[in-house]
Amino acid sequence: MIQALETERLGKRYGRKWALRNCALRIPIGHVTGLVGPNGAGKTTLLHLAMGLLAPTSGTVKVFGYSPAKEARQVLSKVGFVAQEHPLYKTFRVEEMLTAGRKLNANWDQDLALRRLKQVGIPLRQRVGKLSGGQQAQVALIMTLAKRPEMLLLDEPVASLDPLARREFQQTLLDAVTEDGLSVIVSSHIVADLERFCDHLVILSASQVQITADVDHLLQSHKLLVGPRDRAQTRTGTYTVVTSREAERHCMLLVQMHGPMIDPAWEVRDVSLEDIILAYLSQPSRGMAGLEEKKLGVTQ
Amino acid sequence: MEAEKATIEFYLDSRSGVAPYLQLVQQVKQALRLGFLKPGDQLPTVREVVAQLAINPNTVFKAYRTLELEGLVGSRPGLGTFVLRTLADPALESHDALRQRLMGWLQDAAAAGLQEESIEALFTNALQQLKKRNEEEIA
């Protein structure tokens, strides 16, 4: 099946430093995927590789089955990209930005652009530089939507916005997703909104993919176990530990469950997505590659 | 045109650790149980919920599909999603009277100096006792 984005052993090296390493991803069509990680984790590098703005050092990347480097035309007609700084011509009026968009893009949908601008109340005669940060972000997004892409790549689109502008930006984006069934990949280091916004998640840290899964699955399979420290293990048939906090006699384990917890010594609690993400980010050496087997808490 | 009032208003608790789609499912069921939603009522469209909560449309689809699989709602193409059956207790009419008696009891408990936690503990304990007695009767 064709994936919206598919990478295999994808890597990018700048000089001696790997910005992204051994990245294997399959992101199906029709999802809103969050790309989460601290600054410098490789999020922007991955998006630039997907757009063909960078060439891979190793491995392959395919967008809707096409190679962004070799089949740029097919990829560019299907994919829209919104960069973090929302690059717009600040001296242009909004309507002049639309004219530029129409002349530069074959599939330009002027009606869509006008309708969406009206929805969010941005006046066409206003100069772009005079708009608020939130409105500029909206214009950049609407310009990209008017290209009629099948997938949107957004690099930290809301990082510089206040909470209200962030919510309004997301509403425009999600409305477009509902209307057109767009696939979206959005990078972010703001983890608070991701749960309602994304249905799929890729956690990147230290240039590597730590985990990639559906949000529902992440929430349902991760639990906080509270119980006696001397019975804590890094890995059992029932669970795999992501992070642990230990006190003298009892400990708290954030775990991925593989089956129901039967041992009554443990209290099982739900965890928020934010806590799950932070747990994976704080354990960059572990992750999917497999955890080292060791007994916790017991000094040998 | 004045929009009709929505039959149900959803909310999301992002600290709960409960998957968002399940939160929506639970809220519909709760509304069915309490009689706020009745057979024939239309649920808000996916687009309305997306606009209201700034939530991923796939989440809303998944919630509605789950409710549909449980036979609680049905979707009519082009029209929307409608409630098919209720979860309300057949004894819903007696809720009011029972609630009033419970309120009276709670006031008595407060007057006797019980704190909220003690009231909760007492209530849970009594409920368990009742359960146990019922089980013994069956056995």
pLDDT digits (tens, 9 = 90+) for A192-210: 778 888 999 999 988 888 8
pLDDT tens for residues A132-155? 999 999 999 999 999 999 999 999
Interface contacts (A, B; CB < 8 Å): 71
State how many domains chain A has.
2
- Asked whether residue A286 is domain-assigned, the answer is no
Same domain for B68 and B97? no
State how many domains chain B has.
2
The pLDDT of residue A50 is: 94
| Closest residue to B17, CB basis, from A170, A178, A219 | A219
Same domain for B27 and B77? yes
- Asked whether residue A231 is domain-assigned, the answer is yes
Instruction: Give the confidence band of A247 by pLDDT, cuts at 50, 70, 90.
Output: confident
> Given a cut of 50, is residue A293 above it in pLDDT?
no
Query: Is the distance from CB of A287 to CB of A210 less than 8 angstroms?
Result: yes
In chain B, what is the straight-line distance between the N-terminal and C-terminal CA atoms, in Å? 62
Per the DSSP assignment, residues forming a β-bridge with A235 are A240
| CATH number for the domain that contains residue B27 | 1.10.10.10
Domain range spanning residue A243?
A: 217-281
SS (H, E, C) chain B: CCCCCCCCCCCCCCCCCCCHHHHHHHHHHHHHHCCCCCCCCECCCHHHHHHHHCCCHHHHHHHHHHHHHCCCEEEECCCEEEECCCCCCHHHHHHHHHHHHHHHHHHHHHHCCCCHHHHHHHHHHHHHHHHHHHHHHHC
Domain range spanning residue B102?
A: 90-138
B58–A31 CB contact, under 8 Å: yes
Tokens representing A170 are 């997301």
> Given a cut of 50, is residue A222 above it in pLDDT?
yes
- Asked whether residue B125 is domain-assigned, the answer is yes
- The set of residues, in sequence order, having a beta carbon less than 8 Å from that of B102 and lying 6+ positions away, is none
Interface residue A195 vs chain B (CB under 8 A): yes
Residues in chain B closer than 8 A to A197 (CB atoms): 54-56
Q: Please give the helix or strand (H or E) that residue A215 lies within, else none.
A: helix A215-221
Residues in chain A closer than 8 A to B49 (CB atoms): none
- Asked whether residue B5 is domain-assigned, the answer is no
Question: From the candidates B47, B52, B58, B60, which should be mutated to test the interface with A, based on the most A CB atoms within 10 A?
Answer: B58
Q: What is the value of ipTM here, to two decimals?
A: 0.77
